[in-house]
């Protein structure tokens, strides 16, 4: 059964939002984010300090899309107000691991005694810093921060060894203030 479904997103003070068809740009004190939503049958409107997303005759599928888009826009608003922060811990029991951050890549040296360093590319929007055995990833886009953290964890994945014995690696310990 089709229903009229509209979702309102309130834009807080200090955040500017602009809308062009299905492209939303949000700017705040931490920077700006832009995102294009390629969806049919869903209308976008900006009225004063609100963004309204919806459809007059929405199906279940369109309702799910409206809620997903609203969640993305809320995350964009949170990100331009305060950067998302992920924390990772460097764990080593056999060999001391060295993590170095260059402009566009992170190098993990001496992982399990390997001579060849493991390298991970960094997206341009992510800020990575190493403090002792803690790695802090910050970004205005939640997806960039999460993907960068997951990539750092993936670089130190152990294959062909017993995980109960070889517990070395880089692991996510905190996702934007929530401990795991």
157 in the same domain as 74: no
101 in the same domain as 26: no
Tell whether the model's pLDDT for residue 159 goes beyond 80.
Answer: yes
Closest CA to 158 of 148, 150, 169: 169
Last residue of a domain, which of 40, 63, 81?
81
67 in the same domain as 110: no
Query: pTM for this structure?
Result: 0.88
Torsion of CA 107, 113, 115, 116, to 10 degrees: -40
Return the CATH number at 50: 3.90.930.12
- 112-132 burial, b for 16+ CB within 10 Å, e for fewer? eeeeeebebebeebbebeeee
Structure tokens at 49: 């300090």
Report pLDDT for 98: 93
Cα–Cα dist 8/47, whole Å: 10
Per-residue pLDDT band at 161 (split at 50, 70, 90): confident
pLDDT tens digit sequence for 69-94: 999 999 999 999 999 999 999 998 88
165 in the same domain as 106: yes
Cα–Cα dist 107/14, whole Å: 37
Cα–Cα dist 129/106, whole Å: 10
73 in the same domain as 11: yes
Q: Which domain holds residue 53?
A: 3-81
């Amino acid at each position: 059964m089709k229903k009229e479904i509209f979702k309102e997103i309130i834009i807080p003070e200090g955040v500017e939002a602009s809308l062009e068809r299905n492209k939303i740009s949000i700017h705040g004190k931490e920077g700006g984010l832009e995102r294009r939503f390629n969806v049919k049958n869903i209308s976008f409107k900006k009225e004063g300090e609100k963004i309204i997303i919806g459809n007059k005759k929405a199906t279940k599928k369109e309702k799910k899309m409206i809620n997903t888009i609203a969640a993305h826009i809320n995350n964009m608003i949170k990100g331009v107000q305060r950067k998302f922060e992920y924390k990772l811990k460097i764990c080593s029991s056999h060999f001391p691991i060295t993590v170095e951050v260059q402009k566009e890549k992170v190098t993990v040296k001496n992982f399990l005694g390997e001579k060849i360093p493991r390298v991970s590319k960094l997206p341009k929007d992510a800020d990575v810093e190493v403090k002792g055995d803690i790695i802090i990833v910050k970004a205005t886009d939640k997806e960039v921060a999460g993907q960068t953290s997951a990539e750092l964890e993936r670089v130190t994945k152990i294959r062909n060894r017993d995980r109960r014995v070889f517990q070395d690696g880089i692991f996510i310990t905190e996702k934007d203030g929530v401990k795991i």
